[in-house]
Amino acid sequence: MRVPRENLLGTEEGKGFYQLMQQLPQERMIIALGALAAMERAIGLTVEYVRNRKVFGAPLLDMQNTRFKLAECKTNATIARTFVNECMGKVLRGELDPGTAHGQWWCTQRACEIIDECLQLHGGYGYMMEYPIARMYVNARVSKIFGGSNEIMKELIAREL
């Protein structure tokens, strides 16, 4: 099939795969950013929910376990934000390297764990698809696969050892 020159993707004919590979660090950063946003949204939704949900006559947030679980989630999200911000600085300086595999796998793994914890705090409501946390739970899982699975990311990291 002949494709008109004006429809060429990239800058050089026959170099599509090479050009695609050059963009992987940026793609991995976008995936890490999405995971970070999901973590923060899940925490926000859950804090709102547990403030309003009454259990044994008191807000669910008054229970120590709830506060501790949310504290753990918030800590992991804060660590993720710090790392992602550092990587974004590298993007802006043109210094981003294949090491972004660290951010992709770690952030997507933490996002799945945080969303799972937040869903648990929603109780049965968290498993009903009309609640945003249930949809987030379903959607988060694929983030550990696209852009290179977390196992591939770990292999890339291991090659740097």
DSSP 24-93: HHHHHHHHHHHHHHHHHHHHHHHHHHHHH-EETTEEGGGSHHHHHHHHHHHHHHHHHHHHHHHHHHHHHH
Identify the pLDDT of residue 91: 83
Average of pLDDT values for 77-82? 96
Pair 109, 39: CB distance under 8 Å: no
Task: Report whether pLDDT(80) > 70.
Answer: yes
Identify the pLDDT of residue 7: 81
What is the C-alpha separation between 133 and 135, in angstroms, rounded? 5
Which DSSP symbol is given to 128?
A: S
Task: For 39-60, write each residue's pLDDT tens digit.
Answer: 999 999 999 999 999 999 999 9
Amino acid occupying residue 65: N
Q: Is 12 a catalytic residue?
A: no
Could you tell me if residue 4 is inside a domain? no
Could you tell me if residue 48 is inside a domain? yes
Identify the pLDDT of residue 124: 93
Identify the pLDDT of residue 11: 76
Could you tell me if residue 58 is inside a domain? yes
Rounded to two decimals, the pTM is 0.86
Identify the pLDDT of residue 98: 66
Select which of 12, 13, 27, 95 is catalytic.
27
Could you tell me if residue 100 is inside a domain? yes
The answer to which of 7-21, 28-42, 49-63, 104-118 has the lowest mean pLDDT is 7-21
Amino acid occupying residue 107: C
Average of pLDDT values for 12-37? 83
Range of the domain at 140: 24-159
Number of domains composing the chain: 1
Could you tell me if residue 99 is inside a domain? yes
Q: Residue 91 is part of a domain; what is its CATH number?
A: 1.20.140.10
